[in-house]
Structures are given as C-alpha cells and as structure tokens.
Amino acid sequence: MSTTATSTMVKMVGSNGQISLGKQYAGRQVLVEEQEPGVWLVRTATVVPDNERWLLQPEAAADLERALDWASANPADDRATDRVLSRLAEDDA
C-alpha cells in the first residue's frame, strides 16, 4: 500500500475565474475533473492529439527508432546538392 503526501493550499479565484497553481506548473497541461459541485481534482497530464496517436503504436515507434538510427549514422551534408537539383529539374521537364 502506498501513501501519498497531500498538501492543502488556499487560493483565491480571480474575477476572471482563474487560479494560479504556481510557476512549477507553468506551460503544463492539466485535467480538471469536477467530482461534484465545488469539488475539483486537478492532475497534470500529457495529452496526445488524435492525429498523432498512431505514433504511440509499437510498429510506428519501431519505424521511428530505425529512422533515427539511420539519421544518426548518415549525417546530412550538401555535397550532392547540385546533382540532386539537376535530377529534379530533369524530372520536371
């Protein structure tokens, strides 16, 4: 059984309806769950947009890992830029 330390703070809700949780949470996303009128549970969260959820699938993660490994082993350079541009110009013609 784990124990969780709790801390109680008194905060004033401003005239704009906002409260400050402190600078340590600046820029973080939070879930605010209203458990009953006047009772809120606030939890930090990482939200994944629907159109990026596929990145969390094991196959996609493996593909990305292989791509990052390849990129590390093959650093970018501009030695072939002229040749590539010439080939692209030929393909457009």
pLDDT score at 56: 87
- Whether 11 is covered by a domain: the verdict is no
- Whether 3 is covered by a domain: the verdict is no
Name the pLDDT band for 1 (thresholds 50, 70, 90).
Answer: low
Q: In this model, does residue 4 exceed pLDDT 90? A: no
Structure-derived torsion over alpha carbons of residues 12, 18, 23, 28, reported in degrees to the nearest 10: 140
Say how many domains are in the chain.
1
Q: How far is CA 1 from CA 4, 41, 43, 60, 65, in A?
A: 10, 22, 21, 36, 37
- What is the reported pTM? 0.49
Pinpoint the alpha helices (H) of 29-80.
58-73
Q: For 21-80, how does the pLDDT look when each residue is reduced to its tens digit (9 = 90+)?
A: 999 999 999 999 999 999 999 999 999 999 999 888 999 989 999 999 999 999 988 888
For residue 81, the enclosing domain spans: 28-93
pLDDT score at 3: 65
